[in-house]
Amino acid sequence: MAGKEYGSFLFEVTDGVIVRQLTFRIHSSSPTLLLTSQGPLRVFPGVNQPITSRVLCAVTDDAVQSRTVIYTVISGPKLGRLQVKDADDPADLTTFRQRELDEGAIVYRPLANAVDSPWAGIADFILLEVSTAYAAPLRNVTLPVNISYKNLNEDNAHALIRSLPLRIDEGGGSPVEREHVDARPLLQRLALVGVDDIVYILVDAPQHGRLSLGRGHNATSGDRLSPRDLDGDIYYAHDGSETTEDHFRFAVELRTVGNEVVAIDHVITVNVKIRPVNDQTFELKGEAQLQVLQVTKVHVGFNGSSSSSSSSSNVDDGGDCRDNYAYGFLPSYTPSS
């Protein structure tokens, strides 16, 4: 189908006495393919970088995204390789699908180390054609690639900084140790470009507890911490509230042997898992019944008020998104003797 097309057909409706002739009109058009993300792909040297839908994403203007979107490699990268994650066959890819990007199954494997330009990085690119059924393809789509030692991000941080959650009891606490923020894999790679130290800057303090630095000082946003501080000298204390999760976040700053300071555009999240203590369990004794009355239309307002009206007729869905339709139930409960 090319462009817009129109069609119609006639049909008759009758109740046995009166016959009416009606027209059913059809208006169809080809889908349009759109790019919603187009890089850049930021790669850390020596670490496979997943190409996710945050970096490369194409959709159609269909209400339901059911069409398969296919990427065909017109010109592959010069400083790396396109591969399927964890594949036994290391062959370069020639095609892949949007679904694979959504799943993080396609990776860019860098072959250059960027030591001559560690922070600005070196540039690469991938030339693609994007297609789907019945839509005009997108030709000469360029995905820019940057390979740099600054490129720590959500998609590669797991290979460079290990972070296990703290696990504590409600109202308790735990020291923050190396296993909770372990940047040794990152520092080992950064030694190639003269980085010998890392500084953690607290950007988000915990919401349901506090970080104690000792001598009565609680950490606040902006406090700067060394790896030695994060080796048992900081203590997380829960506030005893009925919460099961908390977290705090650090920004990262690198220091080289030449006293150069390099800020990294990535935030490390340390999660806290809280085990409830002395929570009462609920036990229902007796018989419970549920009686279906009829269809009910419930209006839910944003100001906290609500109203309802019952109806046995067909539901009119002409209201806005705040109208919810459900069955009405009348619960009853008979306590045990």
Tokens of 167: 């696990």
pLDDT of residue 318: 40
Q: Give the number of other Cβ atoms within 10 Å of residue 167's Cβ.
A: 12
Task: State the average pLDDT over residues 134-146.
Answer: 95
What percent of the chain stands above pLDDT 70?
80
Cis peptide before 40 (omega within 30 of 0): yes
Q: What is d(CA 312, CA 294) in angstroms, rounded to the nearest whole number? A: 7
pLDDT at 315 over 80: no
Task: State the average pLDDT over residues 191-207.
Answer: 94
Q: Tens of pLDDT along 257-313?
A: 888 999 998 999 999 999 998 766 656 666 666 565 554 444 444 444 444 443 333
Q: What is d(CA 131, CA 127) in angstroms, rounded to the nearest whole number? A: 14
Whether the domain at 33-147 and the domain at 160-275 fall into the same CATH topology: yes
Strands 41-43 and 49-50: unpaired
Residue with tokens 């923020």: 181
Specify whether the CB–CB gap between 203 and 174 falls below 8 A: no
Specify whether the CB–CB gap between 192 and 113 falls below 8 A: yes
CATH tag for 33-147 (out of 1.20.140, 3.90.930, 2.60.40, 1.20.120)? 2.60.40
Q: Would you kindly state where each structural domain of the chain is located, as residue ranges?
A: 33-147, 160-275, 286-335
Minimal CA–CA distance to 209: which of 183, 244, 181, 182? 244
Cα 177 to Cα 36, 58, 162: the distances in Å are 41, 42, 12
HSE, side-chain direction, 13 A CA sphere, residue 239: 11
pLDDT of residue 202: 95
Contacts of 91 (CB under 8 A, 6+ apart): 83
Determine the Cα angle at 156 with ends 153 and 158, to 5°: 110
Phi (first) and psi of residue 79, to 5 degrees: -110, 15
Tell whether domain 160-275 is in CATH 2.60.40: yes
User: Which amino acid is located at 194 in the chain?
Assistant: G
194 versus 86: which is more confidently predicted? 194
pTM score > 0.85 for this model? no
